[in-house]
C-alpha cells in the first residue's frame, strides 16, 4: 500500500484548521487504497493553532504535527515538513482552503502514471487586489527573464512531489530559500493541472506587501545574478556618457574659448552618479548579506516538539 503525505504549513490558523480537517478526512476515507499521513507544521503561531493540532492528533492517528520553536517563515516550515514526512509522495497544501483538496485525487492519478511533480497552476486567483495580482505577474516575468531555467508562472506551492523530488529538495539546505524556484531547478517529470483558487474562509493572511517583496528579492537573488549584471551595464553606460560629455566640454573650450560653466549641471551629475553608486552598492550588499547568512551555517529551523514529544 502506497503512502501519501499531505504537508500543511500553519501560522495562526486556529480558525481555518477546524474547516480544513473534515475536508481532508473525507478525502482520506474515500481513498482507502492508500495509506495517509497529515503532517502539520506549526510555524510559531501566536494563537491556539497548536492546541487544535493536539486535539486532531488525539482523535486521528493519521495526524502528525511538528511544532517549531518560533516563527521561521513558510520556506523553513516547508523544509521541516520535507524532513519529517514519510510518504511515497507528498502533497503541499495551504491551511486556509484556498487550495481545493478535491484536486488531490487527480494529482495522485498523474503520479501513478509516472509524473514526479504534479503542480497546480492558478486559473483564477480568487479575491485579490488588482495591484497585488499585477505585481505578482510582473515578478514572475522578471524572474523568468533573469533565470537560466524555466520558472513556472502563476504557480505556487500547491503540488504533489514524488519521494525522489522530496529527497532532492532535502539536500538543498540554504538558509535564504525560494522553494518555488527549487521545484523548477531540480527538474524531473512535471505535469500541470489548472485550478481556481478560492478565497480565504477564516483568519487573515500573513502575506503583506513587505513580506511579498522580501520573498521576491529572495527569489531573484537566489536564482539569478542579473541584478549585478544590470548594475555593471548601467555603470559602464554612465561612465561612457560622462567621458563623452567631458570630451565635448574640453573641445568646446579649446576651439571656441567658452568658459566651463554649469554649476547646476555639475550638482545634478554628482547626485545622479552618487545615486547610481549607492544603488550598485545596495545590490552588492544584498548578495553579500546572503553569503554572510550562509556562512554562519545555522539550522534553517528548530523543532520544539514532534507529536507532543520534546525534540533534543
Task: Check residues 276 and 45 and name the one with the higher pLDDT.
Answer: 45
Alpha-carbon distances, residue 303 vs 38, 69, 71, 254 (angstroms) = 17, 6, 11, 74
**pLDDT band of 213, cuts 50, 70, 90:** low
**pLDDT band of 179, cuts 50, 70, 90:** confident
What is the pTM (predicted TM-score) of this model?
0.68
**pLDDT band of 214, cuts 50, 70, 90:** low
Q: Give the least confident one: 33-42, 95-104, 161-170, 189-198.
A: 189-198
Residue-wise DSSP of 128-185:
--HHHHHHHHHHHHHHHHH-SS---TTEEEEEEEEHHHHHHHHT---SS--HHHHHHH
Coil, helix or strand for 53?
A: helix
Tens of pLDDT along 70-115?
A: 888 888 888 888 999 888 899 998 888 888 888 889 999 999 888 8
Tens of pLDDT along 231-286?
A: 777 777 777 777 777 777 667 766 766 665 665 666 667 767 777 777 777 777 77
- In 3D, which of 144, 150, 287 has the Cα closest to residue 229? 287
Quick one: pLDDT at residue 129?
60
CA-to-CA distance for 266 and 272, rounded, in angstroms? 10
Tens of pLDDT along 131-146?
A: 666 666 666 666 656 5
Residue 178 has pLDDT above 60, yes or no: yes
**pLDDT band of 7, cuts 50, 70, 90:** very high
Quick one: pLDDT at residue 46?
85
Residue 14 has pLDDT above 60, yes or no: yes
- The residues, any chain, with a CB within 8 Å of residue 147's CB and separated by 6 or more, are 181, 223, 224
pLDDT exceeding 70 applies to what percent of the chain?
A: 72
> What is the per-residue burial (b if ≥16 Cβ within 10 Å, else e) of 169-201?
beeeeebbbbbbbbbbbbeeebbebebebeebe
- In 3D, which of 72, 61, 55, 87 has the Cα closest to residue 10? 72
Quick one: pLDDT at residue 160?
92
Residue 118 has pLDDT above 80, yes or no: yes
Residues 219, 142 contacting (CB under 8 angstroms): no
Residue 223 has pLDDT above 70, yes or no: no
Q: What angle do CA 53, 7, 202 make, to 5 degrees?
A: 60
pLDDT exceeding 90 applies to what percent of the chain?
A: 7
151, with CB counted inside 10 A (0-12, 13-18, 19+), is buried
Q: Which residue has the cell 492508500?
A: 34
Quick one: pLDDT at residue 48?
84
Amino acid at each position: 500500500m502506497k503512502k501519501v503525505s499531505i504537508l500543511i504549513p500553519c501560522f495562526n490558523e486556529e480558525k481555518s484548521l477546524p474547516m480544513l480537517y473534515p475536508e481532508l478526512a473525507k478525502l482520506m476515507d474515500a481513498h482507502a487504497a492508500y495509506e495517509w499521513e497529515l503532517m502539520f507544521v506549526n510555524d510559531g503561531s501566536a494563537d491556539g493553532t497548536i492546541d487544535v493540532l493536539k486535539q486532531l492528533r488525539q482523535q486521528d492517528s493519521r495526524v502528525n504535527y511538528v511544532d517549531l520553536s518560533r516563527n521561521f517563515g513558510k520556506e523553513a516550515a516547508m523544509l521541516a515538513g520535507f524532513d519529517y514526512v514519510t510518504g511515497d509522495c507528498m502533497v503541499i497544501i495551504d491551511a486556509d482552503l484556498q487550495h481545493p483538496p478535491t484536486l488531490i485525487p487527480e494529482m495522485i492519478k498523474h503520479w501513478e502514471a509516472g509524473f514526479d511533480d504534479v503542480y497546480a497552476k492558478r486559473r483564477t486567483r480568487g479575491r485579490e487586489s488588482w495591484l497585488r495580482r499585477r505585481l505578482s505577474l510582473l515578478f514572475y516575468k522578471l524572474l523568468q527573464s533573469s533565470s537560466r531555467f524555466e520558472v513556472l508562472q502563476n504557480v505556487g506551492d500547491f503540488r504533489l512531489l514524488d519521494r525522489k523530488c522530496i529527497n532532492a529538495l532535502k539536500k538543498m539546505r540554504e538558509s535564504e530559500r525560494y522553494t518555488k524556484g527549487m521545484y523548477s531547478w531540480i527538474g524531473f517529470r512535471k505535469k500541470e493541472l489548472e485550478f481556481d483558487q478560492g478565497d480565504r474562509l477564516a483568519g487573515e493572511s500573513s502575506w503583506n506587501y513587505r513580506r511579498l517583496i522580501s520573498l521576491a528579492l529572495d527569489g531573484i537573488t537566489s536564482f539569478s545574478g542579473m541584478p549585478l549584471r544590470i548594475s555593471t551595464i548601467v555603470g559602464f553606460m554612465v561612465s561612457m556618457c560622462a567621458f563623452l560629455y567631458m570630451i565635448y566640454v574640453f573641445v568646446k573650450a579649446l576651439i571656441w574659448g567658452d568658459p566651463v560653466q554649469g554649476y547646476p549641471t555639475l550638482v545634478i551629475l554628482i547626485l545622479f552618479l552618487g545615486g547610481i553608486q549607492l544603488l550598485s552598492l545596495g545590490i552588492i550588499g544584498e548578495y553579500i548579506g546572503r553569503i554572510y547568512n550562509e556562512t554562519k551555517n545555522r539550522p534553517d529551523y528548530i523543532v520544539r516538539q514532534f507529536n507532543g514529544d520534546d525534540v533534543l
